Structure 1
C-alpha cells in the first residue's frame, strides 16, 4: 500500500482503496504484475475518471453510498486535521455519515440513491477530495469535509434528539431554530419532504435525512433546497405553487405573528412583493423553474421564509441595508457556510463556558 502512494493522481488516502481493489482484499502484498494490470486499465484517464473508477465497485457503473466508506475511513486515519478524533469512534462514524450525506445532497439532485459518471463530472466531485488531501486545515475544505460543518450538523441534531434514539419526531423538529418553523410546514416535512435515506412519510427522521433538511433550511438558494421546499409547499402535488397553496401556509404564519404581537402584513401584499421578486412566467402560480432563474437565487429564500419560518421572515422584514451589503462582501460563498461559521463559534463558546 505504501509503495503505490504517488503512483496515482489521487490523494494518499485513496491508496488503501486502490490496494484493496488490486489485491481483491486477499493477499498481504501487491505484485508488480497486479499493479501493471490495474494501472493500465484505470490510470490512462484524466483524474475525474480515475476518481470514479477507484471509488465505485469494479462490476458497477455507479457509485453508491457505501463505496465512500473505506476512503473516508482512510482520511480519518491519516489526515492531521482529523487526528484528534482517533479516540472518538462515534464521532468518526458520524463524520463519515455526514460527509457521504453532503456529497449525495450536492450531487444526487434527483434522489436516485447513486452517483453516475456524468453527475460526478458535472459537480467535479474529485476536486474536493484533492483539496482534502492537500489542505492541512480540514475546515478550509468547505465542500463536504469541514469538521466544523459536521460538528454544527451533529450538535443541532443532538440538541433536538431529546430521547437519544437518533431519530427526530415532529415535536422535536418544531423546536428547531428557536421554534421558528410553523407546525404546517413541519407536518409537510414529515409527510412529503424528500427522504433520500429513509421512508418518505415516516413519523421519524434519521440523522442523514436531518442533514438534508438542515442544509436546505440554512441555504435556500441552492437547487436542492428549492426543490425540497417546493415539494413541501405544493400541497396537491401538481407542480404549481398556487395562491391557495401559499395562502394556507401564510394563514398559519400570520396567526403566529398576531399571537406574538407583531404587525401582520396582509397576504395580498406579501404575494405582490414576492411576485415582484420572483417574476413567475405563468399566471396560475409559481413553478420550480421560476425559483431557479439566475436572478432569483438571492430572493427565493425570502418567499419560503414568509410562508413558514417566522424568525427569518421577521429578520427579512426588518433587515439592515448596511448589514446586507456587508454580507454580500464577506468571505463566504453561500448562506450555509456563513451560518455554519457563526453557529460553530457559538457552540465552541458554550463548550468553553461549561469547562
Structure 2
C-alpha cells in the first residue's frame, strides 16, 4: 500500500559564490612585487651613498621607497630603534618588510611608522618628531630655525591644528580611518611641491602660527604660558561675557595631556587650550568648532540647548551691551529669530545635529559667545563679503589670519619707523630715546622670526 503522506520536492543544489574580500582595515594589500621593487630602489640609494645612511640622506631613501619625504625622521628612528646611529640596507629592509606586511595604504603606513607595530592610533607625542624635523629641514622655515625658543610653540600649534581637523572623535587619538577621511596626508605631500610654508594654509602655516602666538602673548602678561579668567576677559577688548569664560575654564572643552576629559573647573589654561579656543572662536562653521561651542552652551550635558541655557548666555551678551550703552533686543525676540534660523526638529530645544545642518550657525553662536560680533552682525545688512585667494574662497579661519597678519605687519612697520626716528634724535634727548626704543622693542616682539630682535629681547 502506497503512503498517503505528501512528498516534498528535493532542495535545489546551493551554488557557492566566491565573494571577494571588501573590508581592509589596514588598506588594500599592495602586491609583493611592488613592495620588492621599492626595496630595490632603496638598495640602489644605499649602494650609491656607501651602504650606510644617516639622517642627512633619509630624504633620498624615502623618495626611492615612495614615502613622503617629511616622514623621514620617523622612518629613520624606526629603522635604528631611536639610537641615532647610521643604518644599513638590512636595517631598512627589516623595517620595510615588517611594515608592508601589515600596513598597506598610506594612512596605515603613517600610523605604523610613527606609532610602531603595537598601536593603531597616533597621540600628540607621535607627531612631534616629524614637526621638529620640518623646522630643521624645510627651506621656507629657515628664519624659525634661528629662534630655537619658539620651536616648541610652533610644534604645539601645528599639533593642535592637526587634532582639531583630524581627530573628529575628540579622543586625543587619531585613528587610521580618521586619517583617511582627512586631507592631512595629502597636505604633507604638498610640502614637497613648494618652499613657501604659507602657501599651504592647512596645519603648517607660519603666518597662522604668528597670529595665534601674538594673540596669546597679548593676554599672557607675565609670559608664563598660562592664562587665567582675568587674562581671558581681555581677549578682543572684552568681547567675551563671563558666562562663556566660565564655561571655557569649566573643563567642558578641555582635555588632559592623556586625552581624557577634565571634569572639574580649572583656574588656568595653557597655550594649547588657547589655540583650540581661537580656532573655535574665529571659524564657528568648522564641525569641531560647532561641537566646541555646543559643549560650552550645554550646561547640564543633556545633549540639547534649552530655553533656560540660551537665555542664561544671552543675558551675558546683553549685560555687556548695556555696559557700552548699546540697545539690545529682548530675549523673546532674539529666540524667535534663532528658532526661525535653525529650524530645530524638536520644538524649543536645539540639538547638535540641528546646528550642523544650519549654514548660518555662526550667527547663532555669536549671539551667546561674543557681544562685539553679535552687535556687528545685527547692525550689518546681510553676511560679510567673501574673501578669495586667487580663485579659491577663503574659509573664516584663513580670512581671519590673513587680516590679522596684515594688521600685525603694518603695526610692526610703524614701530620700526618710530624706532628709526628715535635713533636719529640728538644726544640731549637720551630720556626720550630710551623711552621710545623700549616701546618699539616691546611692540615688535612679534618679530620672533628675526634672530637679532630675539637677542635684543634677551638682553632686555
* TM-score, scaled relative to structure 1: 0.93
CA distance 1:192–1:68, change in 2 (3 Å): closer
Query: Which residue is 1:324 aligned to?
Result: 384
- Establish whether residue 239 from structure 1 lines up as the match of residue 303 from structure 2: yes
Contact 2:77-2:84 within 8 A present in 1 as well: no
Question: Superposition pairs for residues 216-255 of structure 1, below 5 Å?
Answer: 216-255=280-319
Query: Which residue is 1:267 aligned to?
Result: 331
Coordinate RMSD, CA, aligned: 2.0
Q: Deviations over 1:251-279 (max 9, x none)?
A: 22222222322221121111111111111
Cα offset, 1:169, TM superposition: 0.5
Q: Distance in 2 between matches of 1:338 and 1:239?
A: 31
Query: Which residue is 1:35 aligned to?
Result: 92
Q: Kindly tell me the number of residue pairs found equivalent between the two proteins.
A: 351
Cα offset, 1:43, TM superposition: 4.7
Q: Deviations over 1:71-113 (max 9, x none)?
A: 1111111111101111211211111111111111112223212
Query: What SS does the corresponding residue of 1:205 show, helix, strand or coil?
Result: strand
Contact 1:192-1:231 within 8 A present in 2 as well: no
Query: Which residue is 1:17 aligned to?
Result: 74
Contact 1:197-1:208 within 8 A present in 2 as well: no
Query: What SS does the corresponding residue of 2:230 show, helix, strand or coil?
Result: helix
Higher relative contact order (Cα pairs below 8 Å, separated by 6+ residues) = 1
Query: What SS does the corresponding residue of 2:179 show, helix, strand or coil?
Result: helix
- Establish whether residue 104 from structure 1 lines up as the match of residue 168 from structure 2: no
Of the three residues 171, 178, 193, the one matched with 1:119 is: 178
Q: Distance in 2 between matches of 1:212 and 1:140?
A: 22
Query: Which residue is 2:243 aligned to?
Result: 184
Query: Which residue is 1:338 aligned to?
Result: 399
Query: Which residue is 2:112 aligned to?
Result: 53
Cα offset, 1:320, TM superposition: 4.0
Query: What SS does the corresponding residue of 1:59 show, helix, strand or coil?
Result: coil
The structure having more radius of gyration, on CA atoms, is: 2
Query: Which residue is 1:306 aligned to?
Result: 367
- Establish whether residue 168 from structure 1 lines up as the match of residue 227 from structure 2: yes
Of the three residues 56, 61, 82, the one matched with 1:4 is: 61
Query: What SS does the corresponding residue of 2:64 show, helix, strand or coil?
Result: coil
Cα offset, 1:58, TM superposition: 3.1
- Establish whether residue 257 from structure 1 lines up as the match of residue 321 from structure 2: yes
CA distance 1:53–1:218, change in 2 (3 Å): same
CA distance 1:67–1:326, change in 2 (3 Å): closer
Unaligned runs of 5+ in 1: none
Structure 1, 3-12 or 134-143: larger mean CA deviation: 3-12
Of the three residues 242, 245, 253, the one matched with 1:194 is: 253
- Establish whether residue 211 from structure 1 lines up as the match of residue 275 from structure 2: yes
* TM-score, scaled relative to structure 2: 0.72
